[in-house]
Structure 1
C-alpha cells in the first residue's frame, strides 16, 4: 500500500473530471430511486452551495457527494425554486 506522500497527483483537469463523474453517478443513483430529472450539474450545485468560505478538502467533497440524500437535494431544489433561480 502506498503512503499518502507516494500517491499520484491529479491534475486540475483530472480532478474536475473525477468530481463530475461522481456527480453524474449520484444523479443516476437518484434516477434509480425515482428522481428522473436530476443532473450531475445540479448535484454539484447542491453540494457546492454549502461551501460559502471556499472549498474544503477533497475527502469532504467526495463524502458530501456520496452521502447526499434525495431529501437534502429536494430541500435545496425547493429553496432554489422559491428564490426564482
Structure 2
C-alpha cells in the first residue's frame, strides 16, 4: 500500500487538530496515523492523492466526523477478524448447535 509520506507530513497539523477534537469528544485512542489511513482507504479511495491540492486535503480532514471514523474503524476490525479460527470454532459450534427439545407431557 502506498503511504504518501510527503502528503502526510504536510497535513499532519490538520490531522493532529482533528485528533485533539476527537479526544475532546472522549475518543481518546484515535491517532493521526489512524485518521490518515481512514482518509487514504475511505475518503480518498477513488482520488489521485498525489495530485490533490493541500486545501482539498485539509478541508476533508476537518470535515471528518467522529461517527464516520468510528464506523469505518469498526468495519475494518470486522474485516480483519477471523471468526472461523481455531479459538473461535468451539464458540461457533456452540452457537450453531440446535437446542434439544424438552419432552412435552400430555
Q: Which residue of 1 aligns with 2:21?
A: 29
What does the per-residue CA deviation read over 1:28-81, in whole Å, with 9 as the maximum and x for residues that have no partner? 110001100000011111112222342133222111100100000011101110
Q: 2:79 aligns with which of 53, 73, 83?
A: 83
Query: Number of residues paired by the alignment?
Result: 73
Contact 1:24 1:41 in 2 (8 A): no
Cα distance change on mapping 1:84 and 1:29 into 2, 3 Å: same
The Cα of 1:27 is off from its aligned counterpart by: 0.7
CA distance in 1, matches of 2:12, 2:18: 10
2:59 corresponds to 1:63: yes
Q: Rg bigger for which structure? A: 2
| Secondary structure of 1:83 counterpart | helix
CA distance in 2, matches of 1:16, 1:39: 13
Unmatched 5+ stretches in structure 2: 82-106
Task: Give the alignment's Cα RMSD to 1 decimal.
Answer: 2.0
2:55 corresponds to 1:51: no
- TM-score, normalised via structure 2 length: 0.60
